[in-house]
Structure 1
Amino acid sequence: PHTTTPHTTWTRHLTGTLTQQSPTTPTHDFHTWPPPHAEQLNLDTFYDTPHTTGLTYGPAFQGIRRAWQHDQDIYAEVTLPEQHPTDTYGIHPALLDAALQTSTLCPGQHTDTHQTKLPFAWNHITLHTTGATTLRVHATPHGTDTVSLSLADTTGTPVAHIGRMTLRPLTTQHLNTPHTPHHDSLYRTEWLPVADADAEDVPFAVLGTDVPDVNALGAGTPTVVIADLTESQATDGPGRALELAERALELVQEWSAVPAVEASTLVLRTDGAASGDPAAAVWGLVRSAQTENPGRFVLVDADDRVTPQQIAAAAVSGEPQLMIRDATTRVPRLARVTETAGQPDRSFDPEGTVLVTGGLGTLGRLVARHLAT
């Protein structure tokens, strides 16, 4: 529910029992097919009918090819499209779903055009064999909401048996009920304090001070090497962002190309990147490098009051991104945004502009469409 908290009791949606499989006698002989005296049914509009409830079967789930009726029983052939492999499943979900759809053909099971019945409770399910792509199905109704089904392959060999399957109706009202928005699905980044490591025990060097550049590093490289990205010729805006990002890219590429520094960590130090400075471009770029090279690069945002020794100590904490302010080291963590009384409206100005980074990607397009509509 929308009132969920970390202490809310879980809701049980399904209970099942797995038992040792025992030999079962097939309830129908599938070798004679189609069954004698059975009358073939017209399926021309079968997959159009559920549309009245708003439930649509996609191409992979329109698997019923032919069906017959004899007394109250339904016999059907269902097929899985060729492009769907079966080696991962006992029975492919789309093939099984098509077999279950035959239950709606049973007399009394599909009387209301504004509802369709879906499986709710299962009992006594046995799987005999795997890998089938075409099934012969025998469905027997038990009252108006329960059926049993036997499944076999095209040679008549048993595939599965469902002793009892209870159905429940799905109505137009169920599908049209709007989803309640969950305020706890909105997250933001919070910077949480972490314990500082012993600053005296971490050997470090500063590029441009201890060594002129990455290429000068060799054997005996200290555990941490710090590259300062707090200064630029451009004072603000896109110029500063571009300059710092180009310098960060150069450092990351050089570091990756020097075998002697594989056991060391390169720290890229910024100032203000975590709070909106153009140096944030460095963080965006280096995060990608961190994904490709775990443990080799660390981002530290620190002002000029923080010593290199403090930065080196933070860099060996195992955290990929850190911020040091007022002698406190913090790390980014996701936290739920909770609704509070008097909270300002978070909606966008419909006449304003929103910048979507990565807008050409699939997720970027989805975000852009969501904002536009």
Structure 2
Amino acid sequence: MYGPVFRGLRAAWRRGDEVFAEIALPEEHRASAVGFGIHPALLDAALHAKAFLADDDERTMLPFAWNGLTLHAAGAATLRIRVVRPTADSLALDAFDETGAPVLTAQSLVFRPVTAAQLGATAGSGGGSLFGVDWPQVPRSGEVPTPSWVRLSDAEEVATLADDVLTGAVEAPEAVVLPAVTKGPTTARWT
């Protein structure tokens, strides 16, 4: 069952083959919108507008592929959207913020039919997961292997080590440590 954050469809109306809708995050979740390009609950609510498109098709359809998806702005907590059906198995979506500025454009979201048997075959199976926990066996021995490493202080030592490894005079260490030294003021930057 969807929680309150995924019940964002506030209003919807049709004009011919177009559906317009207003969607919004609940007040207590609006501040979290800034952490997303588009909040997943808003995107989900936008897809709920599909239910208002004129459709005689009784098939169960699941989203399959986004095409021409462009994010124009990030962090919206409310959207006004326009949904049309370019083909029988797809929809196009335009989303705007409260000022009318574009937020998201999707040229198409293609849907594929799925049968009840296909849905039932995967329910509760858990065997098709791409993720899992693996506990590799660690050999029990009295010695803990120590990785080989070498500390070098300048480019000349790096070149010498490289030559010695290439000629077979020494075995390549698992790690080489070089001190990072700069002249003048320094700034740490993590990327």
What TM-score do you get using the length of structure 1 for normalisation?
Answer: 0.33
CA contact (8 A) 1:90 1:130 kept: yes
User: Where does residue 59 of structure 1 map in the other structure?
Assistant: 4
Q: Helix, strand or coil: the match of 2:42?
A: helix
Relative to structure 1, is the Cα distance of residues 90 and 197 closer, same or farther in structure 2, using a 3 angstrom cutoff?
A: closer
2:47 is aligned with 1:103: no
Question: Of residues 107, 114, 134 in structure 2, which corresponds to 1:163?
Answer: 107
2:93 is aligned with 1:149: yes
User: Where does residue 62 of structure 2 map in the other structure?
Assistant: 118
CA contact (8 A) 2:34 2:76 kept: no
Q: Identity over aligned residues, as a percent?
A: 37
Q: 1:103 Cα shift?
A: 2.2
User: Where does residue 17 of structure 2 map in the other structure?
Assistant: 72
Relative to structure 1, is the Cα distance of residues 80 and 171 closer, same or farther in structure 2, using a 3 angstrom cutoff?
A: farther
Q: 1:88 Cα shift?
A: 1.2
Question: Of residues 81, 87, 90 in structure 2, which corresponds to 1:137?
Answer: 81
Moved more, 185-194 or 65-74: 185-194
Relative to structure 1, is the Cα distance of residues 146 and 188 closer, same or farther in structure 2, using a 3 angstrom cutoff?
A: closer
Structure 2 residues not aligned, in runs of 5+: 146-191
Relative to structure 1, is the Cα distance of residues 138 and 181 closer, same or farther in structure 2, using a 3 angstrom cutoff?
A: closer
Aligned-partner residue type, residue 128 of structure 1: H
Q: 1:124 Cα shift?
A: 0.9
Q: Helix, strand or coil: the match of 1:83?
A: helix
Q: Tell me how far apart the structure 2 counterparts of residues 149 and 120 of structure 1 sit (CA, whole Å).
A: 15
Relative to structure 1, is the Cα distance of residues 197 and 151 closer, same or farther in structure 2, using a 3 angstrom cutoff?
A: closer
Aligned-partner residue type, residue 133 of structure 1: A
Q: 1:188 Cα shift?
A: 7.0
CA contact (8 A) 1:67 1:76 kept: yes
Relative to structure 1, is the Cα distance of residues 180 and 67 closer, same or farther in structure 2, using a 3 angstrom cutoff?
A: closer
Q: Helix, strand or coil: the match of 2:28?
A: coil
CA contact (8 A) 2:49 2:83 kept: yes
Aligned-partner residue type, residue 136 of structure 1: R
Aligned-residue RMSD, C-alpha: 2.7
Q: Helix, strand or coil: the match of 2:119?
A: helix
Relative to structure 1, is the Cα distance of residues 81 and 170 closer, same or farther in structure 2, using a 3 angstrom cutoff?
A: farther
CA contact (8 A) 2:7 2:45 kept: yes
Q: Tell me how far apart the structure 1 counterparts of residues 23 and 45 of structure 2 sit (CA, whole Å).
A: 6
Relative to structure 1, is the Cα distance of residues 143 and 89 closer, same or farther in structure 2, using a 3 angstrom cutoff?
A: same
Q: 1:192 Cα shift?
A: 1.7
Q: 1:86 Cα shift?
A: 0.9
Q: 1:136 Cα shift?
A: 0.6
Structure 1 residues not aligned, in runs of 5+: 1-55, 199-373
Q: Tell me how far apart the structure 2 counterparts of residues 167 and 98 of structure 1 sit (CA, whole Å).
A: 16
Say which structure, 1 or 2, has more relative contact order (CA 8 Å, 6+ apart): 2
Q: Tell me how far apart the structure 2 counterparts of residues 197 and 69 of structure 1 sit (CA, whole Å).
A: 70
Q: Helix, strand or coil: the match of 1:130?
A: coil
Relative to structure 1, is the Cα distance of residues 173 and 60 closer, same or farther in structure 2, using a 3 angstrom cutoff?
A: farther
Matched residues, number: 138
Question: Of residues 92, 95, 104 in structure 1, which corresponds to 2:39?
Answer: 92
What TM-score do you get using the length of structure 2 for normalisation?
Answer: 0.62
2:26 is aligned with 1:81: yes
Aligned-partner residue type, residue 86 of structure 1: A
Q: Tell me how far apart the structure 1 counterparts of residues 64 and 38 of structure 2 sit (CA, whole Å).
A: 19
Question: Can you list the C-alpha shifts for 1:280-331, whole angstroms capped at 9, x where unaligned?
Answer: xxxxxxxxxxxxxxxxxxxxxxxxxxxxxxxxxxxxxxxxxxxxxxxxxxxx
